[in-house]
Structure 1
């Protein structure tokens, strides 16, 4: 929600390197047949071969990410400073994070969507570098308006005399969530290689990545090298992404067993320590399962994937409802915009309610908090809506001629994009040279990934775009 590119319209059970065949007028085996209304016309948002399960996972993931980020903050303002806390830190609320921490599901859905889209592109004869370039453009271009707004905004607000600490806190917060996009850009750039590895070695690939996560955690906790934990970024998220690639070639059997094994392993790891119970970072916690990711988070991710696969028939039936089909069709090309701007909406409402009116967050879970929570969410939706209307167009770029620059050039572009996003993650948009360098890296990535010339009328459309 996560904000992933479109491109999930290939048969789910067909190998990603070969087209599925079916008799004329019938959907390919394993695909979702087109939904029709009572008049016989296709239902809104329905497409032949579309895997609605992946669509539902993306929508569910984005909804839970936004809901969690909007509901967690415990805010108060005094003496020119804003204090922040986490509502999920109270009591046993950390148990909620075993379901609400849906980044594993988002990476899983991204792997499935990427494999399906890459398979479609390969069958159309589109080279792998051209596919990567099109996906890179879809991921990076929506960040440009975010940077264009937030780079000058702190300077303007400080010049207007607003308190420094809340302004810098908001500027830092607006860029922190870009860590996901940095990691996702890397795995998308590696998708052609990961698809080949999956075809050659199957489940041994994510198993090897999980083994790498075990080694990293041993070095981190037993060896006392805390910084080594960040190596798990290269093991935990790609392992979950690889499971999505596996889903694109055939749904795993015994999903309930996968769910029980994943959640059981996570419970054992938390009980034995040193893993904390929460799957998100908590204020003052000595260890985080999220930053950097741990083996416990990988186990929870496996449990979530198994649970989602077990509930797949229910998700498919839900997605076929006409109203849900319309929601899926509308939200699909806007999820990246929601992800990028929902924290900006939080900053706007916080500035108005907490800083401007002096209204602090009530005790989390108490009667006042429960009564005010719907009103808080409504204000946030109203703040997000104009941002969504203004910037969602960047998520749907016009079709371009296929990229012809070669593998090395697009690999450099992906590396520059990931580096720029990491700079935004580490420094936010706080005034200084780092955010400016991050913007420069992003623009350089877009320039390197551009096509050699203007789009031709008969050019092959980029994956996930329409003519």
Structure 2
């Protein structure tokens, strides 16, 4: 007899990683599948693609500064409907005890700190690589002003349409002024960027002395109020030159951060309590003096304190940014930072104008004179975020294309999977600020 062959049995295959489920769960709720898992994997790819030597704390500070400004504007800017007219108002007019909240959202000094740091390092790197100043500056200004073209184009068309439709001039003026208000910041930032080779070694005490003397002449000796506009450059030059000093390695010790934080805080408190400066660090309609328009000494010392706090938080931010999800969120904001900054007021006004179709809505068209308005405005914030996201989707290409071939720098290198491996086919995503 011949031996019968042993029957072949098919081995039992184990479920793949993406098919395994925990006891009592279905494949839909598996921790390794679904939208949250996909987002996690995307964040891990962004984390892995980020250049090793990148200081993520710088990007985190920039994102926090821009989001602080956006949130601050959304919370303190009200468009009150008075018949067919829209006029600006602020809860700080009616609820002055809320002024300390403005301290958390007036974060422009941090943006200038980061701007001075990045521009100083960028210019030094360009010089080392033999890139001429004109080409370096052209790339940076293109990234700044590229998104402005779309904003100006849209609001030119909107303004013409409103005037032709018979809208009241006061309403049109209010809307246009709010929509274009971010441009003042951009012009100052561009001027300081252009002067970086001259400012990179300027000591911050020099512009601080200018601000001190301008305020002394204005408020102490009755000099013309127009003199205060000198502070528009000198005031923001203080955090910008602090950023340059950071780039030179002069503010690495924690003692420097503590000196700026405590000194700035003490000076600000003295100016508010003893010299009569307003407590709000943002403009309040109808106020006799604004700390921001133009910047006063109190706004500058407050910014110094913020810069000190930012420097003290660097190590904690670097550790936090090692988490892929946190870093991916920061990288996303930085890749659209100018679009977010320029269009956030438009998102507010688009929501307000559309809401008028449903009548006068609390927190959107009503007078901001009570905590009920504050609660209603907080409820509107997700709507503002959604409209801003739509603006970002529509106009981000203007920011992405603003830098040209030589205006590119790396935030992350986004991986495209290929047959040769997950890290092949790398494309570099441009940073725009």
The answer (yes or no) to whether the contact 2:140–2:403 under 8 Å persists in 1 is no
Runs of 5+ unmatched residues, structure 2: 1-40, 408-427
Runs of 5+ unmatched residues, structure 1: 1-36, 199-204, 404-460
1:76 Cα deviation after fit: 2.8
1:392 Cα deviation after fit: 0.9
Aligned mates of 2:214, 2:232 — CA distance in 1? 10
| Larger gyration radius, structure 1 or structure 2 | 2
Instruction: Deviation per CA, 1:398-449: give whole Å up to 9, x if none.
Output: 764669xxxxxxxxxxxxxxxxxxxxxxxxxxxxxxxxxxxxxxxxxxxxxx
- CA change 1:42–1:146 in 2 (3 A) is closer
Aligned mates of 1:352, 1:163 — CA distance in 2? 17
Show the counterpart of 1:247. 246
Q: Secondary structure at the match of 1:284?
A: coil
The answer (yes or no) to whether the contact 1:44–1:329 under 8 Å persists in 2 is no
User: Aligned-pair RMSD on alpha carbons?
Assistant: 2.5
Aligned mates of 2:349, 2:164 — CA distance in 1? 18
| Counterpart pick for 1:119 among 116, 124, 137 | 124
Alignment TM-score, normalising by the size of structure 2: 0.78
1:18-417 matches, cutoff 5 A? 43-44=47-48, 46-89=50-93, 90-195=95-200, 197-198=201-202, 205-224=203-222, 225-250=224-249, 251-253=251-253, 254=255, 255-354=257-356, 356-361=358-363, 368-369=372-373, 371-397=375-401, 400=404
Aligned mates of 1:139, 1:398 — CA distance in 2? 8
Instruction: Deviation per CA, 1:190-245: give whole Å up to 9, x if none.
Output: 012222x35xxxxxx21111111111111111221211111112211112100001
- CA change 1:342–1:296 in 2 (3 A) is same
Aligned mates of 1:268, 1:378 — CA distance in 2? 38
Alignment TM-score, normalising by the size of structure 1: 0.72
Aligned mates of 2:167, 2:55 — CA distance in 1? 49
The answer (yes or no) to whether the contact 2:207–2:235 under 8 Å persists in 1 is yes
- CA change 1:49–1:76 in 2 (3 A) is same
Aligned mates of 2:401, 2:375 — CA distance in 1? 41
Aligned mates of 1:233, 1:192 — CA distance in 2? 20
Q: Secondary structure at the match of 1:283?
A: coil
1:312 Cα deviation after fit: 2.0
Bigger Cα displacement from structure 2, 64-73 vs 81-90: 81-90
- CA change 1:45–1:187 in 2 (3 A) is farther
Aligned mates of 1:258, 1:136 — CA distance in 2? 30
Aligned mates of 1:145, 1:233 — CA distance in 2? 26
1:94 Cα deviation after fit: 1.0
1:151 Cα deviation after fit: 1.0
1:256 Cα deviation after fit: 2.2
1:119 Cα deviation after fit: 2.2
